[in-house]
Amino acid sequence: MVAKSIDELDKEIIKCKKCPRLVAWRQEVAQVKRKSFQYQKYWGKAVPGFGDKSPTTLILGLAPGAHGANRTGRIFTGDSSGDWLYRALHQVGVAKIPTSTSFDDGQKLEGVRISCAVRCVPPDNKPSIEEKNNCSHFLDEELTLLSTNLKSILALGSFAWGAAISSLKENGFVIPKPTPKFAHGKTFVATNGSRKIKVVGSYHPSQQNTFTGKLTEKMLKKVITTALGERI
């Protein structure tokens, strides 16, 4: 069934159990829990997108974090990656508050929606090709529903970059040839008749990238600014 609205799509995502390995893993993580969150109830289900339902910019990640979105039920919420992302979004004026700690913390995004290529937390952050393919139609449908106003996609990491290209193609957009390879700060424009969507690449704000200095706050803020274009 093809969703007719973002709300309908979100409901379909939440109830999805198509990938046995991912369902088992997300539930195991939710039951075993991290010691620091042992008294909290984990979400333990597929995670839908969050933010403006008619955005000009879509921020795309890989998948929910095991003790972040898989715990809180909201993408990039409750872990260090989310801390980095929402702080930067607040600095440029599109996030209501500079933190994202829980589903009901009052966070609100203006003109921006955050989503991911795979909707369940995968073991070791490595979904299989089959799992990626099983989940791809959700992003395809999300882009279809958002495409009226969408002007840009910020892809956080090479996995999200590839997923964005695939879904744009599925939605009838033409990708430049040769197919652009992921790099931090790399941009290209996908076209579908008179419609244009700019795709911007960024290193993922993972602990591995931020702790080592591969991604700095200045770098993240710059690519967000590039994706937002004239909005700020």
For residue 212, CA distances in Å to 88, 103, 215 come to 18, 29, 8
Architecture of domain 6-32+39-231: 3-Layer(aba) Sandwich (3.40)
* Separation between Cα atoms, residue 64 and residue 66, nearest integer Å: 6
According to the model, what pLDDT value does residue 231 have? 54
pLDDT tens digits, 160-175: 999 999 999 999 999 9
3-state secondary structure 3-70: CCCHHHHHHHHHCCCCCHHHHHHHHHHHHHCCHHHCCCCCCCCCCCCEECCCCCEEEEECCCCCCCHH
According to the model, what pLDDT value does residue 232 have? 41
Which residues is 13 bridged to in the sheet?
A: none
Q: Please determine, for residue 141, whether its predicted confidence score (pLDDT) is greater than 70.
A: yes
Q: Please determine, for residue 230, whether its predicted confidence score (pLDDT) is greater than 60.
A: no
pLDDT tens digits, 178-226: 999 999 999 999 999 999 999 999 999 999 999 999 999 999 999 999 9
Q: What is the DSSP letter of 121?
A: P
Cβ-Cβ contacts under 8 Å for 90 (sequence gap 6 or more): 96, 97, 98
The H or E element that residue 72 is part of is helix 69-72
Q: What is the mean pLDDT of residues 117-123?
A: 97
According to the model, what pLDDT value does residue 147 have? 84
The structural domains of the chain, with segments of one domain joined by +, span: 6-32+39-231
